[in-house]
Structure 1
């Protein structure tokens, strides 16, 4: 028996037992595979989806591989969309998934040193790596790559982080939609104030021949009316302007995106508890 990742020696038997319990053992409601009669409190959605593929006829290894492959592609796409929404910069959106997936500290420095000292060159050394360059115990250096240390060994985090990014994107969209509505309301109040000023000026011009006192009274009344309307518009816009400084706390949100975000966030503890905690913080 061979496994490419040491942590699989402890994690893989548990996950295989959970998948087998769903696929062949009718484990509903879910019970812990190692403790009879004990409720399963581990986030099990990813293993449940794997069991669905197994029941459909897929091999266990193939079900896990293709599920991980699909979730990894989904994570890259969702991460790109989140960065594009947040920065509105296509270059930054393209660089974000690369920075996340290719992270791993400064192991490349040791890699280039070994490639130069051994005389094998970069490409030849890439074809036959002798050890890991992100977690190097012999050098006291540990900065694991996101793919090898998280996404491959912890399958639930693939779906958990992707769903957390979906929730954050929905929050951002809800804030932007509410901000657009407030901006339209502000423009409408400004147009109404300007229209009232123009109407008052027209009344003043028409009443010039009636008498100076009457003109003055109308001008004063019109100016007070316009001034009052402008004050009302300013008061109505005051909460919006203060809310724009920190959109996630003070501003109202669009209803539908927030409902969708709430449903996903509520189900996230069944997928990946750490992603739920980070999202709530």
Structure 2
């Protein structure tokens, strides 16, 4: 906790770089997210030399403090709380407290039965991020993929690194996972509000925020139709998500329940992405090279935080550069080239890890219409987003001519994301599409706030339109609040504790490849093969290992001599093998749920 407090205080120095005007309370609210972002990025770089441990942590903290003090001295401003909108404060407090409640009660929360988590995507994704965090705690860096021993992990794990650092500093899993998300959420809301107020009123901000957090689609209509035919209560009947429902070809999952809550890297991506966009807005006015240098740092760091945000803003930067070249070709070329060089230098570690472990062909492929299958693409997007796209187009039509360029990339990238898939799992393009829809909600906020001024009747129509637009997402969020599960029970925790105390960090376990197995999840130890669903989506060919694991667990121990990586332990959840064990295999540990065999 002390570490987050120090970073929150010294993050204020970085907020002063962003504006010549008084930052006031906005700067204070941005400080925690800025502080932890800078600190984590510096720790990540130092970890390549010192590993993840006290040396890299304290060196990174010292560098962060020094940089913050230098920024404070150079960009110091008079502090004032004047003209700070209570409207924004109230909205932020409500959103932050509501989502903080979910994180603090559904992200590896301790209970008498073990550690619990929320349902939906939070269940599987929490297990994945726990495994990455636990492995980072061991000090190894770059880490091997804990679910696929012998292969370096190539993934935007910066937020998991931050949680690992917080674990090392003494926090439990729940606080180490929840607190960074809360701080990034506050930073995101500040930037979202400041950006919205460039284009629209406070009402426009509220409309955009509601639609962004509680959209999408017409799934609520399918729910109501099904519920009316049943004879059970509303809450009892709500057992499925209606923004992500294959029965109705609904795949555009609500951004909160589909991305923000389960995907730990998405919220930092939102914060850093909006930070970059805010700097672009300032650059269009001031043409200050400093802003693009900052954006070069942000873009270079993004692959370690959120890859799809990186892709989105690379394309956005290219479009902005082309536009500005029409106005001043030479200055734009110099400034954007400088930004690109800074970004490439910062991104070198990630680029090295990626291209030394993957081929681009494993990730890129075409798919007309994203997830529409054989359904008409226009009808598909109407079902999945209701009136968001036509309203955004209408907002684009009415918005000031000089502002249109800020939203062109959102439409371009939306089209690209319906044609090109950027990863093995097609659904993951939702992360790009959600960025487009974030900008669509800004246009909608502008449009509907403008219409609301035309009298009470139009005001009422706008309210009805907003309520229908957020119905499906509200159901999804209600379902999230309704369900929680034990992800690691007492026996799981006991096994993980034993593994941490009695095995070395480079020893490998062969396990039944379950999504929430405690060995990779809680102990930080490597497994020969983890849950396949967490592997193929990241481009890992696990077929050969899966066959070997199945054969060994079926009793064919001759396969132990032909493994890609030697194993040291076998963990089974059965009472015992039903066949004779070789003489070199003995029982090392057992509890009510597991038996560990040592080779």
TM-score (norm 2): 0.31
Report the RMSD for the aligned CA atoms in angstroms.
Answer: 2.8
Partner-residue secondary structure (3-state), 2:274: helix
TM-superposed CA distance for 1:273, in Å, is: 0.7
Higher relative contact order (CA 8 A, sep 6+): 1
Q: Which residue of 1 aligns with 2:184?
A: 71
Q: Choose from 163, 167, 170 the match for 2:276.
A: 167
Q: Which residue of 2 aligns with 1:16?
A: 130
Q: 1:135 to 1:90 in 2, by over 3 A?
A: same
Whole-angstrom distance in 2 between the partners of 1:279 and 1:164: 7
Equivalences for 1:191-230 in 2 at 5 Å?
A: none
Q: Choose from 197, 203, 215 the match for 1:103.
A: 215
Whole-angstrom distance in 2 between the partners of 1:44 and 1:102: 27
Aligned residues: 201
Q: Which residue of 1 aligns with 2:341?
A: none
1:266 partnered with 2:300:
yes
Equivalences for 1:25-104 in 2 at 5 Å?
A: 25-36=138-149, 38-85=151-198, 87-104=199-216
Once the two structures are superposed, what CA deviation does each residue of 1:90-145 show, in whole Å capped at 9, x if it has no partner? 3222322221111121123234445666688xxx7358733322223344433311
Once the two structures are superposed, what CA deviation does each residue of 1:39-81 show, in whole Å capped at 9, x if it has no partner? 3321111101111221222211332133333333332332222
Q: 1:57 to 1:147 in 2, by over 3 A?
A: same
Partner-residue secondary structure (3-state), 2:128: helix
1:149 partnered with 2:242:
no
Whole-angstrom distance in 2 between the partners of 1:18 and 1:138: 33
C-alpha contact 2:269 2:309 (8 A) present in aligned 1: yes
C-alpha contact 1:78 1:165 (8 A) present in aligned 2: yes
Partner-residue secondary structure (3-state), 1:135: coil
Whole-angstrom distance in 1 between the partners of 2:126 and 2:222: 31
TM-superposed CA distance for 1:27, in Å, is: 1.8
Q: Which residue of 1 aligns with 2:246?
A: 137
C-alpha contact 1:81 1:93 (8 A) present in aligned 2: no
C-alpha contact 2:159 2:305 (8 A) present in aligned 1: yes
C-alpha contact 2:122 2:261 (8 A) present in aligned 1: no
Q: 1:40 to 1:75 in 2, by over 3 A?
A: same
TM-superposed CA distance for 1:267, in Å, is: 0.7
Gaps of 5+ in 2: 1-114, 316-599
Whole-angstrom distance in 2 between the partners of 1:103 and 1:265: 28
Whole-angstrom distance in 1 between the partners of 2:291 and 2:312: 20
Whole-angstrom distance in 2 between the partners of 1:57 and 1:2: 20
Whole-angstrom distance in 2 between the partners of 1:139 and 1:254: 49
Q: Which residue of 2 aligns with 1:276?
A: 310
Q: Which residue of 2 aligns with 1:5?
A: 119
Equivalences for 1:120-131 in 2 at 5 Å?
A: 125=234, 129-131=238-240
Whole-angstrom distance in 2 between the partners of 1:108 and 1:148: 15
Whole-angstrom distance in 2 between the partners of 1:34 and 1:93: 42
Q: 1:117 to 1:29 in 2, by over 3 A?
A: closer
C-alpha contact 1:84 1:93 (8 A) present in aligned 2: yes
Q: 1:139 to 1:269 in 2, by over 3 A?
A: closer
- Comparing 103-112 with 43-52, greater Cα deviation is found at 103-112
Whole-angstrom distance in 1 between the partners of 2:224 and 2:268: 34
C-alpha contact 2:121 2:258 (8 A) present in aligned 1: no
C-alpha contact 1:14 1:33 (8 A) present in aligned 2: no
Higher strand share: 2
Whole-angstrom distance in 2 between the partners of 1:29 and 1:117: 55
C-alpha contact 1:107 1:133 (8 A) present in aligned 2: yes
C-alpha contact 2:129 2:264 (8 A) present in aligned 1: no
Q: Which residue of 2 aligns with 1:250?
A: none
